[in-house]
Structure 1
Amino acid sequence: MALKEAGGSLPVPNVQQLASSSNATSLEEVPTRYIRPELDRVSSDDHCVSIPVIDMSKLVSDSHADGDELAKLHSACRDWGFFQVINHGVANTMMMKMNADIQEFFNQSLHEKMECAQLPNTIEGYGQAFVVSEEQKLDWGDMLFIIARPLDGRNMNIWPKVPSSFRATLDQYSTELEKLTSSLLSSMARNLGLEPGKLLSLFKEGMQGMRMNYYPPCKQATKVIGLAPHSDATGLTLLAQVNEVQGLQIKRDGKWIPIDPIPGAFIVNVGDIIEIMSNGEYKSIEHRAVVNPEKERLSIATFHSPNFSATIGPLSNLLTKDKKGQAPNYKSISHEDYLKLGAKIKLDGKGKGLIHQMKIQPEALNGEK
């Protein structure tokens, strides 16, 4: 199974350079491909909302008994789909070094960054993801996407050489986030009534992809979008803020809610695969990134998916154990076919399109939360 099954992206102009050269001071200076009048700009209010916070040190101590932190995690996955983790064990110095290396990479000239440019028919490299046509609307942001795991899936040709510490830093960061994700998956399995190792076995030697995001400021910030509304097609995502500028919003009860990151915490969200595997008990949630009119925003999202031999579908244990023969709500397909299906559905502001395709009795898209 080749990683190329995830699809590629057409080359597009560099937004960082565009924003720098024009300063995007007027609507006329923002190219029409970036103007997104069709997207809902309304947020619930001007204040950030506190999503559930999980203390990993307490969660680990709950691992062999039913405890409050396990219950909090279950509620967060079921009722929110988003939560923050603190006391997660990833050293602050490690996170600061990763942040500094990412900032230094994006501070390079365009010529230097293009040494890591995306290659045809791949999702890796420097550019913008999910651009499939010359007419498609574009996000106001650039990204560097790297597949960090499995180790034999790494393409070192697109790993930055500048800064010189980047590769070693990312390798260590990748290892630490894999450990954290494994701990979360083990607790989630327990909450779902599964053996703790059930999810771990499916994610063992799975794919870990890292998307490093750069969202330039834009004076016409209300007319563009940093990252269009979507849910993650993967299993579990860990997001870290690189700088202090906020921009993440989640959709809850039909409204867009800004999220205020806790310094040093990871924002975790349930992906489509976990929704499917839990047969809908846990939900992936639409989210988006908005643009600041005056300041750049940087973040790094680390995606974790099952291994390529795993079947993407409701876990059989959940359909039989104390479920009175509960019927599956989603299809079961090979991981390869799942990636091919996902590659056909671009980020177009229509939210949970992949989940819609996987449902056995799909609801109308307008009915999705």
Structure 2
Amino acid sequence: MSVNIDNIEMEEAPTYAPSIPVPNVQEMVKKNPLQVPKRYIRNQEEMEKVNYMPQLSSEIPAIDLTLLSNGNVEELHKLDIACKEWGFFQIVNHGVQKELMQRMRDVADEFFKLPVEEKEKYAMPSNDIQGYGHAYVVSEDQTLDWSDSLILIIYPNRYRKLQFWPNSPQGFKDIIEVYSSEVKRVGEELISSLSVIMGLEKHALLGQHKELIQCLRSNYYPPCKTPEKVLGLSPHSDTSTITILMQDDDVIGLEIRHKGNWVPVTPISDALVVNVGDIIEIWSNGKYKSVEHRVVTNKDKRRTSHASFLVPRDDVEVESFAHMIDAQNPKMYQKVVYGDYLRQSMKRKMEGKTHTDVAKIKE
């Protein structure tokens, strides 16, 4: 493939944010399955079990991507409702082969089963999030999440730091490449459809990105003997445009905030879960909301998930589109530079949507 060197200017891959090193949760569980160190324990108020509404899970919208991409009016309407009322939806008929999805799950499982010494060859450096470890750990007294992660920037290719791409298991790099390429296709189709329901030309939102950046976060959630006391991932909204998640078909872990309650996202076989990120919320002037979500654990089964974050380039200025602002919907957000917004959020622990305050116009 030829590369236009004139447009690249020998750009270095960006760094994102430092994170304090913390123990490997998977190894901790291996050594003593019954122990839950104090730094992981949350009180009842934090767990919010009184607000648990599993009966609403079946109402989370499912959208047919083939119909959506063909401009089907009914499916576009469903997308509009999903983004307004839920901020989350599942997509079916997305064209990602079932075998490829399963292979991605399998090789990631094999990676997480490797000896810790092997995985730590790819440990996150002190100043960035690419690699194996934990992101968003910003203070020594922070309550920790019951999970380990492998985080990689996939696109553009020149942002890849290949020293963090595992050599083992064999073929892992190739599967990441093929799976991520398919997710990119799905993401571009979804962003084009979001463009349409926001009253823009089909490719306007993709153009706003200047270049689509794509990051993969593979998460490993070990079982926990006291799942009512820990969280696999703290409540947060995503700083992305959209996030596309592949979760295990047989283990529920993801929960989303809906009208003040926590609703589990029950997997639909071979579907992908999509959520609106903060950037769509800002562009739409709050019409479409980036929704708080978290991950719970369980006693007996480990769970893995693979989140692909699609975001604008660092230098993109993000603000609400003029046509989304009127007397009934006054401007809610100030202009932010995406790279600044992203790094500000990464320098603080995940606490719901508090990181979005920097973008909100103060009353």
Instruction: Tell me if TM exceeds 0.5.
Output: yes
Deviation at 1:308, TM superposition (A): 2.5
Question: 255, 259, 270: which is aligned to 1:253?
Answer: 259
Distance 2:266 2:249 in 1: 13
Q: What corresponds to 2:30 in structure 1?
A: 20
Amino acid at match of 1:346: K
Q: Counterpart of 2:149 in 1: which secondary structure?
A: strand
Distance of aligned partners of 1:131 and 1:4 in 2 relative to their CA distance in 1, 3 Å threshold: farther
Alignment TM-score, normalising by the size of structure 1: 0.90
Please list every run of 5 or more consecutive structure 2 residues that lacks an aligned counterpart in the other structure: 1-10
Contact between 1:243 and 1:299, CA under 8 Å: does it hold in 2? no
Distance of aligned partners of 1:318 and 1:119 in 2 relative to their CA distance in 1, 3 Å threshold: same
1:76 maps onto 2:82 in alignment: yes
Deviation at 1:136, TM superposition (A): 1.3
The superposition leaves residues 316-359 of structure 1 with CA deviations (integer Å, 9 ceiling, x where unpaired) of 4534xxx4696421010222321232233321xx3101222211
Q: What corresponds to 1:290 in structure 2?
A: 296
Q: Counterpart of 1:113 in 2: which secondary structure?
A: helix
Structure 1 residues 337-356: aligned runs within 5 Å:
337-347=340-350, 350-356=351-357
Please list every run of 5 or more consecutive structure 1 residues that lacks an aligned counterpart in the other structure: 363-369
Q: What corresponds to 1:336 in structure 2?
A: 339
Percent of residue pairs identical = 41
| 4+ aligned runs moved over 6 Å, structure 1 | none
Q: Counterpart of 2:75 in 1: which secondary structure?
A: helix
Amino acid at match of 2:69: V
Distance 2:227 2:246 in 1: 22
Structure 1 residues 1-369: aligned runs within 5 Å:
4=14, 6-24=16-34, 29-37=35-43, 38-42=45-49, 43-47=51-55, 49-50=57-58, 51-62=60-71, 67-242=73-248, 244-319=250-325, 323=326, 327-347=330-350, 350-361=351-362
Deviation at 1:314, TM superposition (A): 1.2
Distance 1:164 1:214 in 2: 19
Q: What corresponds to 2:4 in structure 1?
A: none
Q: Counterpart of 2:140 in 1: which secondary structure?
A: coil
Distance 1:88 1:232 in 2: 22
Distance 2:117 2:80 in 1: 47
Q: Counterpart of 2:78 in 1: which secondary structure?
A: helix
Alignment TM-score, normalising by the size of structure 2: 0.92
**How many residues are paired up?**
350
Contact between 1:5 and 1:339, CA under 8 Å: does it hold in 2? no
The superposition leaves residues 297-325 of structure 1 with CA deviations (integer Å, 9 ceiling, x where unpaired) of 11001100012232122124534xxx469
Q: What corresponds to 1:367 in structure 2?
A: none
Distance 2:193 2:114 in 1: 41
Contact between 1:48 and 1:259, CA under 8 Å: does it hold in 2? no
Distance 1:296 1:210 in 2: 20
